[in-house]
Every structure is written in structure tokens, then in C-alpha cells.
Amino acid sequence: MSSNFQAPKGVNEYFPPRSETYLAARDAFAAAAVRAGYSYLELPVFEDTRLFARGVGESTDVVSKEMYTFDDRGGRSITLRPEFTVGVLRSVLQHGLHKGELPVKVWATGPAFRYERAQAGRYRQFYQVDLEAIGSEDPAVDVETIALAWDWYRDLGLTRLSLHLNSLGCRECRPVYRSALQEFLRGLDLDEATRARVEINPLRVLDDKRPEVRAQVEDAPLVMDYLCGACKAHHDKVRELLSDLSVPWVDDPRLVRGLDYYTRTTYEFDHPLLGAQSGVGGGGRYDGLSEDIGGPPLPGIGFGLGLDRTVLAMEAEEVAAAAASRVAVYGVPLGEEAQRKIFGLVAGLRRAGIAADMSYDGKKLKGAMRGADRSGAAYAVILGERDLAEGAAQVKDLATGDQVAVPLDRIAEVLKEKLG
């Protein structure tokens, strides 16, 4: 019997053994970020609602339909973060990090919240690793971040990912493109909701998955043909440097993203085995976002990678970390006095850096040995009444079944030797 309660609908949670894969992926990311000079940020899970409304963009689905927004007890409107970027930028500006060395290179991780229709790979509480480089316009920084993500996926063992790359232009050239696209879209046979979207957020119409819309937008003007000289030069440099680092990509002139702040470089990582929710991660530049939230002009680039979909991809490619966390030694005390001795021994092993666990609740030999097997330990230390009287314990090799008696005061030393 379980309890009377279940987790709220659509949330994703991790428990053993899957939580090990999740943790391994997140830890590997932390190491990669630190190797590339990114510092860690720990941010609040909720922010002033207006930060997201202004930063993420009111015309996006995320802001208009998916935010977890409520008034707190002091009557302030609070929103659970639907993404990290805007909060990262808020924090960087608030604490003046942009007044030091640029770019400010930071990363963060944790849950994000979107009230979406829950399905495989799409959750209402999900997890990201997020990385941002703020205060540089250099295309090399774009590529540093993209390559970091690419190498992380590759080091996790994922081989089937593809990187889709586009540029969305800047404040100069995007409006010209937007008008041209709107003009084209207004001439199509679209339903009312889509026609409304043409007026508010025309780029999103290019992203419509319905075949009848897809067929009609086939000949739509493409942003690539409208990029200004500076944006085109930036994009060419990004492509050149990606080649230098041997990161393969697919040019995708129809790629648009679900958040409004993007400028210039935009990209997404897709995994072919994940069905409808194939976007495992994405990112891009947001050169106007700082000003949108009341800050100084400050370009930025970064990404958010979905840990949930990364774990699903690892499972689909059968590269998920095979086993739950394992201990090396498992203590099997038989009787109260033996329990006290083993308890001290196990604590001592842990202090000496050896992973150890033991059986509790006065379990009999059979039950306790089952625990030892399940723990994945290489050795069991069995202490019965007769052993106690002799001042020794049985050290059993759980792979071969071989067992030797070792004096109690030498056990830690012998185990250390055996575990090498």
C-alpha cells in the first residue's frame, strides 16, 4: 500500500536508480562549466512576476498561458521561474557583477515551472542546467557556449543529437524581416487564432507543426535573407568557429524559439528518439534583454539544457549510468553487541573515505546478507557471537564467496588494502 497522496500532476521527480543518472549528468555539467571558467549562481525559485512578463515577453505562450503566478501573503505577485536567463541577468545587474571583468560567466541549475499539458518529456516541474556569458558581443563566446553543451552531451555518451542553428537578426534588421513575413502570412488561409498570432508574434507561425500550416509557409521569406551586414558577419564567424572546433550543425533558417528575447545566434539541440518533445536544449543571444528589464546595454548569450530530456535520451541510447550508487563494504552484525561494534567500524570506514553501509533492526543472517547483495558491496563484514568472543570478524568476498577471519582491530586496514 502506498499513502493517500500522489505528487501533483505533471511534476517530474527522480528516485533511485534513475536519480543516479540525473546526478551524474548534472555533476558532469558542473565540472565542464568550471573547466571553462563559469562560476556558480544559486538563485531564487520565485521572482517578481513583472520580471518574467517584461523579460520573457508577454506575447509568448510561456508568459500568457504557462506561468505559475500567485499573490504571496504580502499581496505581491510572485511567479515560479519558468526559465533561468532573466533571473540570472537580474541577479548579475543587482549585484553589479557586470561592473567587473566582462563577460560575466555564470551557470545555474535547478527546477523550473511551466503549466503545460503534461506528457512524456514535458512536465510542469522540470530541471535545467543553464549557462550564460554576459557582456560580450564576440562570436567566439557564442561558440564557446555551444561547444560546451555539445561536448557535455557527447561525454554523456549521446551520439544521435543534432544541433540546429539560425540567426534572428538584431534590432535593425529584424523589424524589416518581421514586416515582410507578416505581409506574406496575411495572404494565407489561416484560422482565427493563427491570424491573431501573425499580428503578435509572426515568427512563431513558422514553427507551427500542423501540416496544413506547414505547407502554406513553405515559401515564406526567411530571416537569413534579411540579416544586416553586422548580423551576417557575426553569423558567418559563428559558423566558421564551430567548424574549427569540429562541432557539426544543421543550418535551420526556420528555427524560432519560444521566448521573445532572442537576437542573432539561436540554436536548439534535438534528439531523434524522443518523439514530440525532441528539444533537449536550446539557447542563443539576447543582446537587448538587459535594457528590457531596465538595465544598461549589455549583450549576452547562453543556453538552458533540459536535464529531464537528457536523461530520457541517455536511456533511449542505452548509455544511462548502469547502477545505483554502490558501497564497497557492508556490515552484518548478529546481536546487539555486534551491532555496536559494526556501527563503529562502518563509521570509521566512512571517515577513512571508504563507502560503507550496514544492516539495521536486528536482522537475521539471511535478511542481512540479502541487504549486502543488494548494496552492491564487494565485501561483507560479518560479526556473530562466536566471532565477538574471539575478537575477530569474517570478511567475505561477495563475488567469490571466500571468507577469512580478521582481528577486529585490523579490519579497516585489511579492507583498505583489499580495496586498493
Binding residues for ligand HAM, rule: CB under 6 A, are 83-85, 114, 116, 122-123, 126, 128, 130, 132, 258-259, 279-284, 286, 302-304, 306, 308-309
Q: How far is the CB of 61 from ligand HAM (least distance, A)?
A: 10
Write down the least CB distance from residue 82 to ligand HAM, Å.
7
| Residue (162 or 325) nearer to ligand HAM, CB | 162
Measured distance CA(309)–CA(322) in Å, rounded = 18
Rounded distance, CA 309 to CA 158, Å?
Answer: 12
CB 273 within 8 A of CB 314: no
Q: Which is nearer to ligand HAM, 147 or 380 (CB)?
A: 147
Nearer to ligand HAM (CB atom), residue 288 or residue 302: 302
User: Minimum distance between the CB of residue 400 and ligand HAM, rounded to whole angstroms?
Assistant: 45
Q: How many CB atoms lie within 10 A of CB 340?
A: 12
CB 91 within 8 A of CB 41: yes
By beta-carbon proximity to ligand HAM, the closer residue of 242 and 301 is: 301
SS3 call for 265: strand
String of b and e for 86-101 (b: at least 16 CB within 10 Å)?
bbbbbbbbeeebbeee
Which residue's Cβ lies closest to ligand HAM? 306
The CB-of-41 to ligand HAM minimum distance in angstroms stands at: 13
How far is the CA of 59 from the CAs of 201, 203, 268, 269, 383, in angstroms? 7, 11, 21, 24, 68
Grid cell for residue 356: 560503507
Residue 32 three-state SS: helix
Helix or strand or coil: residue 395?
strand
Sheet strand arrangement including 68-71: 46-48, 77-80, 68-71
102 versus 355: smaller Cβ distance to ligand HAM = 102
What are the two backbone dihedrals, phi and then psi, of residue 122, each rounded to the nearest 5 degrees? -130, 115
- Single-letter code of the amino acid located at 91: S
Q: Which is nearer to ligand HAM, 104 or 280 (CB)?
A: 280
- Nearer to ligand HAM (CB atom), residue 308 or residue 387: 308
